[in-house]
Amino acid sequence: MIKTITWIAALCFSICANIAHAGWDLIPNRGVDLIVIDPYIQMHTGPGRGYPVFHVIEKGEKLHIFVKRTDWFKVETAKGVKGWVKRSSFVKTLGLEGQLTAFTGPGREDYLNRRFEFGILTGRFDTADSLTTYGAFHLTQNISGELKYTQTFSPVANNKLLGFNVVHKPFPTWRISPFFTLGYGQISISPSAALVQPKQRKNWLYTVGTGAFVYISRRFLMRIEYNKHTLLTKREANEEVEEWKAGFSVFF
Amino acid sequence: MESRIQRIFLVRVILAAVLLTASSLSIAQHDGSNPGEKTILDSIIEPDLDRRKIRESKIDSEHFEFGFFTGVMSVEDFGSNNVSGLRGAFHISEDWFIEAVYGATEISETSAEALFDIPLLEDRNLRYYNTSLGVNLFPGEIFIGRNHAFNSNVFLILGAGNTRFAGDEYLTYNFGGGFRLFITDWMSFRLDFRNHIFTHTVLGEEKSIQNLETHFGLSIYF
């Protein structure tokens, strides 16, 4: 076992060393060229505020941006110095033909016009613990569609729930923005293996819910939600289950 | 008689429609004629400047991380075993990232099983997935030799997920930390330490177990 791992480690290390030595760039000729108008721009050795400043780009110098990671851009000056520059440093930088730069970071505007959203929520599904992951696509500021996968855990039974929901936000611009949701999906209920005669069953269900989005900052938002699921059974009465959950999401 | 009345009405409706369309058209024409005529004065006051903006979308972004890993996972009572899996992450800011991991291992026999030769479990596969929130704490640089410097960081991570173990599924919390070494801008080497905590009843009584995992892996950024 240890031998195998050592072998894989050695292999990975040699591949990495080769790649690092060759300095491969996957997409070599993409990016933008700019002229610095600010008095100076500081260049860091890495994409983070903790990395030291090792070079200063002067006013009037040309530079090429080829990669960005979160709020940092990797740039190369005309003299061939490579380093990382924070997004906020590019306030007055212009394009080669005098075009303005639109390097505004993710903010409230992006939150309002978000297209994709991904989030994780935990909470209570009836008396069980629940864990939900979801992905959403926003059609307009008010309406979005969501695919949700919930797993619930209790000593008696574990459930898996896959559903599609339509979400309506009547006041998307509010910082705490309420929403209403309507959904349809399937729940698969598997009683614990420790119980006698565990028999898995599947039910269709529909869901109504309400909750709120709270925009925190940058790409983060919080989400609190209450759902009422109605399981369509073959018995005389349908089952109703209440669910509370809270979590956070990111958008991009 | 009836058809005559109908015809009169029809004629009136058509007339009204034609009149309405004509009037709205004339309004539209009237409106449209003004901005087209640009005087010399206008062009001096408003020079025809090209206010194009350079968009960020032209720059290659590396917010997503995808990678594989392999290592050792110790499952309490069931020995230490090889583990391997896949991960995907999204880097939200220079400090925060979210990560989803899927891993698989095969558990070995408990000491009781080995001693008395009674197999306790049929299904000896353990599979887990989790989603976690991570924070990059200590950025740094690693120097190798005279000419190479690689960026690195140390992160902490906390999350929840599911573990499929002994034919049942359990809500699992995980926490840990790790080390990331950037070999190039788009590739990193990772070393992770995690603790997966869940409660099971496989051995009779309810038992909360801690399962330590350490693995190393490679990730690419795109």
Confidence of residue A43 (pLDDT cuts 50, 70, 90): very high
Residue keyed to tokens 């640089």: B141
**Using one digit for the tens of pLDDT, what is the confidence trace for B53-108?**
666 777 788 889 999 999 999 998 888 999 999 999 999 888 999 999 999 999 88
Of the given ranges (A145-149, B58-62, B155-159), which has the lowest mean pLDDT? B58-62
Give Cα A145 to chain centroid, integer Å: 16
**DSSP 8-state class, residue A139:** S
Which tokens sit at A51? 């990395």
**Residue-level pLDDT at B121:** 79
Identify the closest residue of chain A to B163 by CA–CA distance. A153
**Residue-level pLDDT at B10:** 62
A105 class by beta-carbon count within 10 Å (0-12 exposed, 13-18 middle, 19+ buried): middle
**DSSP 8-state class, residue B59:** S
CB B103 within 8 A of CB B85: yes
Share of chain A above pLDDT 90, in %: 37
Nearest-angstrom CA–CA distance, B98 and B96? 7
Task: Tell me which residue of B88, B97, B75, B77 sits closest to B172, measured CA to CA.
Answer: B75
Q: Please state whether beta strands A100-101 and B53-54 pair in parallel, antiparallel, or not at all (unpaired).
A: parallel
Q: What share of chain A is helix, strand, coil (3-state, %, to 5)?
A: 10, 55, 30
Residue range B38-63: mean pLDDT, rounded: 67
CB A160 within 8 A of CB A188: yes
Distance from CA of A84 to the nearest CA of B (A): 11
Residue range A173-192: mean pLDDT, rounded: 91
Share of chain A above pLDDT 70, in %: 80
Confidence of residue B173 (pLDDT cuts 50, 70, 90): very high
Tally the C-alpha atoms within 13 A of residue A171's C-alpha that lie toward its C-beta.
Answer: 9
**Using one digit for the tens of pLDDT, what is the confidence trace for B17-30?**
655 555 554 444 44
Angle, vertex CA A159, rays to CA A153 and CA A160, nearest 5: 115
Q: Which residue among B98, B149, B169 places its CB closest to the CB of A250?
A: B98
What is the SS3 assignment for A10?
helix
**Residue-level pLDDT at B26:** 46
**DSSP 8-state class, residue A105:** -
More confident residue, B207 or A24: B207
Residue range B156-171: mean pLDDT, rounded: 90
The segment with the largest mean pLDDT, out of A101-105, A143-147, A238-242, is: A143-147
**DSSP 8-state class, residue B203:** T
ipTM of the complex: 0.76
Q: Please state whether beta strands A201-217 and A176-191 pair in parallel, antiparallel, or not at all (unpaired).
A: antiparallel
The answer to whether residue A193 neighbours chain B at the CB level (below 8 Å) is yes
Distances (CA, A) of B179 to A52, B136, B155, B160, B218: 19, 9, 6, 20, 12
Residue range B168-196: mean pLDDT, rounded: 92
- With beta carbons under 8 A apart, name residues in chain B contacting A71: 93-94
Nearest-angstrom CA–CA distance, A104 and A90? 9
**Residue-level pLDDT at B60:** 80
Q: Which residue among B55, B59, B166 places its CB closest to the CB of A67?
A: B59
CB B105 within 8 A of CB B126: yes
What is the H or E stretch that residue B111 is in? helix B111-116
For chain B, positions 88-147, list CB contacts with chain A under 8 A.
90-94, 96, 98, 100, 131, 133, 136, 138-141
For chain B, what is the radius of gyration of the CA atoms? 34
Do the chains contact at B136 and A48, CB–CB below 8 Å? yes
More confident residue, A83 or B201: A83
For chain A, what is the radius of gyration of the CA atoms? 26
Confidence of residue B216 (pLDDT cuts 50, 70, 90): very high
How high is the mean pLDDT of chain A?
84
Q: Quick check: A171 pLDDT over 60?
A: yes
CB A128 within 8 A of CB B170: no
**Residue-level pLDDT at B14:** 66
**Using one digit for the tens of pLDDT, what is the confidence trace for A202-214?**
899 999 999 999 9
Q: Quick check: A144 pLDDT over 90?
A: yes
Confidence of residue B33 (pLDDT cuts 50, 70, 90): very low
- B138-144 long-range contacts (CB < 8 A, ≥24 apart) are B138/A50, B139/A46, B139/A48, B139/A50, B139/A51, B140/A50, B141/A45, B141/A46, B141/A51, B142/B181
Q: Quick check: B51 pLDDT over 50?
A: yes
